[in-house]
Each structure stands twice: as structure tokens, then as C-alpha cells.
Amino acid sequence: QKEVEQDPGPLSVPEGAIVSLNCTYSNSAFQYFMWYRQYSRKGPELLMYTYSSGNKEDGRFTAQVDKSSKYISLFIRDSQPSDSATYLCAGVNTDKLIFGTGTRLQVFP
């Protein structure tokens, strides 16, 4: 079993929709969780991070961790075509990141 599982998608939504991207994890030792965004043929870039439980909001983005069910979510409000990318979740274990496979999101006008 992979330590971080993520539905690969693609997820296709209309502009303005609320998007929910989700991961599950199995390693209880993860101290932080990260969301990276990766545009096509580019390197990943950090979007947000949260500690091991709770919510964090940054503009249109909200990251949520439910430690009891080992579930990580990223919500995007008022989605835009420029949000079309692959979103990678990752757990942080001591000095290493463990990534999920990524979910491809397409936002159409």
C-alpha cells in the first residue's frame, strides 16, 4: 500500500465551480501535509501546507486535514481555467516528502 493515495483524475469542472481534491494516507508519523501544483511540462510548485490537523485558508484555496480518518483535502473556490494543472499532495516524514500520484484538474470556460 502506498503511503499517500490520490485519485489520478482527470477531474473536469466548469469555471466558477468549487473543486475538492482529496488524498488518503497511511503513515501516522506524518508531521505536515503539502499541496503542490504542477503545470504541464513544468516542475511542481508549493501551493499550501498544513500541520497534522485542522484547516488553512489562502485566498481561494483551503487545505484541510482530518487526522482521525487520515484524509487530506484541498478546496478551490471560484475555479478558473488558470487552475488547470496537476495537484500533488504530500506527507512530510522527518526530512522527506512522500508524494501521492497527483490529480489532473481541468477547468473549462
Chain contacts with another protein (rule: CB under 8 A): 4, 6, 8, 32, 34, 41-46, 49, 88, 92, 95-97, 99-102
Quick one: how far is CA 39 from the chain centroid?
14
Q: Hey, which residues does 78 pair with through a beta bridge?
A: none
In the complex with another protein, which residue's Cβ is closer, 8 or 81? 8
Residues 6+ apart with CB under 8 A from 32: 49, 50, 51, 52, 91, 92
| Closest separation in Å from C-beta 27 to another protein | 13
In the complex with another protein, which residue's Cβ is closer, 13 or 97? 97
| Closest separation in Å from C-beta 42 to another protein | 6
| Closest separation in Å from C-beta 94 to another protein | 9
- Rounded Cα gap, residues 27 and 91, in angstroms: 8
- Rounded Cα gap, residues 99 and 109, in angstroms: 30
In the complex with another protein, which residue's Cβ is closer, 62 or 102? 102
In the complex with another protein, which residue's Cβ is closer, 44 or 64? 44
| Closest separation in Å from C-beta 41 to another protein | 8
Upper half-sphere CA count for residue 104 (Cβ side, 13 Å):
6
